[in-house]
Amino acid sequence: MKRLSFGKNERIKEKKLFENLYASGKVSFSSDKKIKAVYFFIEDSDVRLPKVAVAVSKKAGNAFWRNRIKRLLREAYRLNKLPISTVCIEKKNQLYIIFSPYQLNQKENKTIKLFEIMPGVQEIISYVIRNDAK
């Protein structure tokens, strides 16, 4: 794993895994309610890299806006993934997490920048590390 990359082996791609996450995962919100995350840990796993996905509803805005949000969320995670990766490796846990915008939509936010997304992602990552990484 390169330190600041976001490769294919770190992404959630299976439909069944998405369904399991939404059915039995824990939900966390950023304090400003802009970002939502659904996640769960598997303890004593062979694979110890966190796996991440970004999901944006069509209700959030047009394709251009949705794709921008996805890019920004992936970039915010990529820049802040080191602490959560270290915890997963140390504790021998596998983490699955899906980030999505919660109160972000195109009608209220015509333009969106990385500095608006970054604090929410950092907050969720620190919450997951603090409360659920056993």
Domains in the chain, ordered, with CATH?
Answer: 8-132 (3.30.230.10)
Q: What is the dihedral of CA 54, 29, 110, 77, to 10 degrees?
A: -40
Q: Quick one: pLDDT at residue 134?
A: 57
Structure tokens at 113: 């920048």
Predicted TM-score (pTM) of the model is: 0.88
Per the CB < 8 A criterion, the answer to whether 54 and 89 are in contact is no
Lowest model confidence (mean pLDDT) among 38-47, 64-73, 80-89? 38-47
Q: What are the tens digits of pLDDT across the range 11-46?
A: 888 899 899 999 999 999 999 888 999 998 888 777
pLDDT band (50, 70, 90) for residue 84: confident
